[in-house]
Structure formats: C-alpha cells, structure tokens
Amino acid sequence: MTTRNCKVLVIGAGPGGYVAAIRAGQLGLDTVIVEGDRAGGTCLIRGCIPSKALIHAATVFDDLSKHSSKTGHMGISIKSKPKLDMPDLISWKDTIVGKLNQGVEHLLKKAGVELVKGWASFKDAKTCTVSTSKGDLEICAEHVILANGSESIELPFMPYDKHVISSTGALDLDKLPKQLAIIGGGYIGLELGIAFSKMGTEVTVIEALDRILPLFDKELVRPVSLWLKRHKINVHLSSKAEGVERKGRKSIVTFSDSKGKKHKLSTDKVLVTVGRRPRTNGWGLENMGVDMDGNFIKVDNRCQTTMRNVWAIGDIVGEPMLAHKASAQGEMVAELIAGEKRSFDPVAIPSVCFTEPEIVSVGLSPNEAEEEGIETVVGKFPFAASGRALAMDAGSDGGFVRITARKDNHLVLGIQAVGAHVSELSGEFISSMEMGAVLEDISGTIHVHPTLTEAFHEAALASLGHAIHISK
C-alpha cells in the first residue's frame, strides 16, 4: 500500500470541499482532496446546476408554446408547436455539467492540489485509506476537512427503482413522463414539478404538512400557490404517502388525507423529495472521535470539531444545507489552517427557491421579527408597478419585494422577494444586510432604471412612508 503524507486532507469535492482545497492550495499548503464521484459534488453534478438547466429549458419550451397558440403572444406567433426531445435535453444538461466539472478539476490542479479519485475510509482521526483504480492509498494528514455532503432521504416503503426516483433520477430521464407524482412539497419537489409541468407532464404533489414550501412565509408562497392552481397542478396537503405498487405500466401510489381517507393515484413516475440527510455513514466517522449534534457533526463557530485539527463544513454540520454556506465555510477553514483569524458569523444566509415565480429570503420575516419581540416597520413594492417587470412580461404573477427593519433605528432585519428573476437580486439583499444598512442607505442609493432592483429601492421608500411609484 502506498502512503501519502500531507498538510491538509479534504474529503469530498463538492462546493465546500473543492473551495477549501483551492484556497488551501493558494495559501501554499500541501493539500490532497478525495472524491469518490466527479469533482463538483451533488450541487454541480446532480443538483443545483443540472436542475437549473432543466428549469431553464422547461421555461423556454413553455414560452415557445405560448407563441404557438392561435393568438400568439406579445405579437409573436409561431406556426407549429415546439417539440421536446428529452434525450437531447439531457445531453445538453450533461454538457454543462461536464464543462463545470472539468473547470473545477483544472482549478484544483492550478492551485497545486492533488485530486485523488476514490472512496475514503478512516481508521483514526487523521488517517484514511482510499480505494482507487490503481489500488489502495493511505493518506495521513495534519489537518482533515470533512465535506462529505448529504444524500436524498429514501422512504422505506418506497425504495428507489426505475419507477420511484430521487431528484438525481429525475434529472436523467430519457423520456418525459405523462404523469408524475411528487412526494414532498418542499423546494426540490416544486422546482422539478413546475419544470415538468411546463414541459407537458401532468403533475400531482402529495405533502404531509398543511402547506407547501414551509421554509418560507405564507405571503411569499402565495404567488407560487396561485401558479400551481392556474396550471392545474394538483396539490394534496395534509396527506401522507403510504406505499406504491406496480400494475402493468403504471405505478399506483396510496396516500391518506387529513381525515384518514385513503386515495390511490395512478402515475408513470414517482419522485420522492422528502428532504436530505448528512452523509455520515460508511466512511469511518465512528473511528474519528468527534462529537455529534443529533445527525450532524458538532462544530464551533470556526467549523472545528471536538477532535483537534479535524474540521467539518457544509451539509454535514447542519442547516441550512446550501452550497454557498459550504463554500464560505470551506474558504474560512483553509485560512484558519494557514494561521489567519476567522470565524463563521454571517448576519444571514440567503436562500432561493427556483419555482414559478422565484422566491428569495434573507434574514427575518415580519412575523419572525415580531416573535423575537422587535418592533418593526415593513415596506413592500409590487412588481406590477415595475416598468422593467412588465416589459419582461413578468409583472402579473403577484410578486413583490419586502423589507423589514427595526422601528427605532431603521436597521434592516430581513429582505424577501417573490417574482420572476428575483434570484438575481439576492446579492444586493445580502450585501445590504452584511454591511448593516439602514433604510435610509437603501432609499438614498440611486438604482438603475429600468431594472428590477428599483423595486428594492421603492420597498425601502415604502418602509419610510414615501414610496414614489405606488400610492398608500
């Protein structure tokens, strides 16, 4: 067995791991990163990036379908209906993923990081054996960064197969299903469900809670609920999936409603999106001597575990399970190992849901601020009053930007938005909060006309009681 000693060993080349490795390499640290799949992790290979590619393609198809109607749309008519070639769509998506995967590997190499492809198994806190195509490799490190990520939760009564699929399977379908049943009305299920609906699939959502998208407040979710209703996506709330059986070419899903009444749903595919769990099993975590916090690895505000010089980042350390959180933690840990003084203490971590319309949330909602006993002022500006939104055919979906601030000093506590393309506003939202902006900072900043960012400016003005482009 070959042995490799290094300063830093990173486990997992996802958005947390590869960022940590690149930064460590930039800082001159001898760094090895181990990845059992392809560099990029769940987000790049089978999550964020491929799903957004699918969502974009579905939106393009839906837009073309509007133009091919008898009356056309926006004065533009297409004589024939658009055709969808699912294998070609998947191939286009895979091309994007491939380019980004190669890009990550190139960046690792340029930073002087050694990428080892294989599965690691730890025998103690600083030593692991990696099974590679060239044989076993033992790696001993001074510092270990655990960035193992998370995995889809599989329901015991609905095991994955070619008919019951996870989000990964949904992104690799070579044939568009006529019917799709989605178990779970969270962001993953609805993002994919809306995309498939746009492509022509009949979609049904079964959600155990009494509402969809429970991570966002009801006011933000309302425009999404209206879109689902208008596009005839059946949503069964307070309903629990109980099992699935195969009859002929169909899968029959059994579920019960809030009153205990059982229902059966015939469908082509069943997509299970009931959440994700940290990947803590199967690689020797039990041999590393680190403490746990429930299902997650326990860390402090520097991502240090209870074992000296063992660090953990990303999905494996707790909510929110977001790629950008993992990347920020990875960069910080690399700098800590290099001797810099850092801590992970963000004002807020933005979250985005790529539904129709999109949702962005940063910081506290008005209700959350109230629950904390904070007296607030709230301003809201609808995209129906935005010239840019209307010119993009995007102002009639009920979307808006909302700002919550302290009443006494006008410090911004939270910013939320729902509407077309609002994900692109998230950077301005979080920058404002990290810099400790008050309402006067935002209202006094000149925003470009015509852009969607003007809605942010107007929401601040509304909070102060003098919005320009809406009446009280």
> Which residues are annotated as catalytic?
449
Contact 412, 438 (CB under 8 A): yes
Residue 216 in 3-state DSSP? coil
Q: How far apart are CA 273 and CA 154, in angstroms?
A: 9
Residue 192 in 3-state DSSP? helix
Task: Give the burial class of 96: count Cβ atoms within 10 A of its Cβ; 0-12 exposed, 13-18 middle, 19 or more buried.
Answer: middle
Place of tokens 């600083």: 126
Place of tokens 């991502």: 303
* Assigned token pair, 22: 């690149």
The Cα angle at residue 392 between residues 386 and 398, in degrees rounded to 5: 55
Task: Kindly compute the dihedral angle of the four CA atoms of residues 183, 50, 361, 228, in this order, to the nearest 10 degrees.
Answer: -50
Q: Say which DSSP state 286 is in.
A: G
In angstroms, what CA-CA distances link 120 with 36, 138, 148, 155, 278?
A: 8, 9, 10, 27, 16
Burial per residue of 255-270, b for 16 or more beta-carbon CB atoms within 10 angstroms, e otherwise:
bbeeeeeeeebebbbb
Displacement of CA 197 from its chain's centroid (Å)? 20
Strands (E) in 248-295, as ranges, are 250-256, 262-267, 269-272, 276-278, 292-293
Say how many C-beta atoms besides its own lie within 10 A of residue 6's C-beta: 20
In angstroms, what CA-CA distances link 32 with 45, 141, 202, 236, 326?
A: 21, 9, 47, 48, 18
Compute and round to an integer the Cα radius of gyration of the chain.
24
